[in-house]
Amino acid sequence: MSPATLATTDVIIVGAGVTGIAVAYHLQARNIRFVILEADEDVGGTWLRNKWHGARVDSEVVRYAFSFMLEIPCKELWNRGEVLDYLKRTLLVTGIDRHLMLRTRVQRATFATDRNIWTVETPLGSYEAGHLINCNGFGANVPNIPTFEGMEAFRGKVIHACDLDEKTRFDGQNVVLVGSGATAISTAPALSDVSKSLVILQRSPSYIYEVDNRLGWFARLCRTLHGAGVPFAGATLRWKNTVEGDLYFLLIRCFPRLGRAFFRWHWRDAATDAYHAEYLTPRYPPYTQRIPKAVGLKQRLLTGTIAFRNGSIKRFGDRSIVLASGEELPCEVCILATGFKLGVFSFPLSCDGLPIDVRSVNWYKTLMMGSVPNYFHPFGCFHCSWTQRVEQLARLIADVIVHVRTRRYSRVWVERKAVPFDPVFRPNFLMREEHLPRPYGLFELPTLDQLVSFRLCTSHELRFA
């Protein structure tokens, strides 16, 4: 597609990952014209860029798949390649691929109040639309790489997880994996299969939940019925898993001692009480940070293929890492699973030529930013399926745009106001970003978001003119 054919449209969507595809589908269902501008050479967003060993989703497929193209494969979690195949298949089946512009990076966007039009500039030309929807997700393209004494003299390799390629092997080499979040826990088993030894070095432990990635009997039954064309089978399984997840979240948040006891019981067959207390028991209550899902970690702990160590790095030696405690870890390859620098805004915004200050801006339901007209910025949740959350937001966006058109409004926005920064989850990558947008008005429970319509909760915040 050439820029000339889509110079003017109703909506510009930035990003062709999970969020952008969800939004595009619900706009298309309401006959709203749109174009998707994607900076990469293909669709998939984070699943296209991150190629580390063992890259996969942490949500069950039945919850991670779109409601309009529900799939129940023979296992619980998809890996990176399977997610990419699914997204490409979705584009083709729905026809959304006809509206897609690849290798089209947005450089800046400006809103003209006299015309109520967004102008988006790219290297291929400019696009105009009445509404702009930014679907760049975390915008986590820049790795967070800490520096340590002696790194320049280290005779091995230091690689950030985002620079890994799953085809790379480290045979005969001692690998130290720095980090304890979702990336470290999902990549560790796969890395241990292609290295001599693997040590997970963590400043402090995380709560980890192990799954065997096999469907239970009820999920297998729903899969069979879904494959036979029974319409409610997939939706039933999706709702069951969603309700269970919400109940676990509420129970553990309200009764943290019960949560700690549960995780101690969960790891009883793979770690002694002493090992669990030292390496698998965090200082914070459960669900204060995201709980990574592991596949195959228990077995590798039992066989000694993977080992945990606690501590901070003091310096690098020639072929080792020296901890602040004085312990020295043999190391030929150091892999940093130390997260990313968030880039919620991947391009600057302006209004009538003046820059829009997005530092600490209020972010209603992770949907609209204070004082930014005709601009939507949908964002998922940390503790549940990203897809479920952004699909709800996509429906609301489409409903709002239809409302603007039928009532002959020109503009929709939420007012700018001070909102405290009080996130439910407090991971390091979030807390170190001082001027992130301030979410508010959230339920944090997918079941409540679905049972209580977003529309009922936005009437007092949205402004129309």
Proportion of the chain above pLDDT 70, given as a percent: 92
Count Cα atoms within 13 angstroms, Cβ side, for 249: 23
Counting residues of the chain whose pLDDT is more than 90, the rounded percentage is 72
- Please report the pLDDT score of residue 6 as a whole number: 43
Instruction: Note the pLDDT tens digit of each residue in 216-237.
Output: 999 999 999 999 999 899 999 9
Q: b/e for 442-464, b at 16 or more Cβ within 10 A?
A: bbbbbbebeeeebeebbeebbee
Phi and psi at residue 85, to the nearest 5°: -60, -40
pLDDT of 271 above 90: yes
Is CATH 3.40.50.300 what the domain over 3-141+343-464 is classified as, yes or no? no
What is the domain partition of the chain in residue ranges?
3-141+343-464, 145-215+220-338
| pLDDT tens-digit series, residues 107-127 | 999 999 999 999 999 998 899
Confirm if 18 and 40 have CB atoms less than 8 A apart: no
Q: Looking at the predicted structure, is the pLDDT value of residue 249 above 50?
A: yes
Average pLDDT, the chain: 90
Please tell me what DSSP assigns to residue 214: B
Comparing 3-141+343-464 with 145-215+220-338, is the CATH topology the same? yes
Other Cβ atoms closer than 10 A to 67: 16
pTM confidence score = 0.93
User: In the structure encoding, which two tokens stand for residue 375, read together?
Assistant: 């601009």
- Give the model's confidence band at 7: pLDDT under 50 very low, under 70 low, under 90 confident, else very high: low
Confidence of residue 430 (pLDDT cuts 50, 70, 90): low
Q: Which residue has the tokens 């004085």?
A: 326
Degrees to nearest 5, angle at CA 21 with 17 and 392: 110
Residue bearing the bigger pLDDT, 407 or 460: 407
Per-residue confidence at 9, pLDDT binned at 50, 70, 90?
confident
Q: Which pLDDT value is given to residue 3?
A: 47
Closest CA to 267 of 255, 256, 276: 276
Per CATH, which fold does 145-215+220-338 belong to? Answer: FAD/NAD(P)-binding domain (3.50.50)
CB 411 within 8 A of CB 373: yes
- What local confidence, expressed as pLDDT, does residue 146 receive? 87
| 176-220 confidence digits (pLDDT tens) | 999 988 899 999 999 999 999 999 999 999 999 999 899 999 999
CA gap 48, 80 in Å, rounded: 8
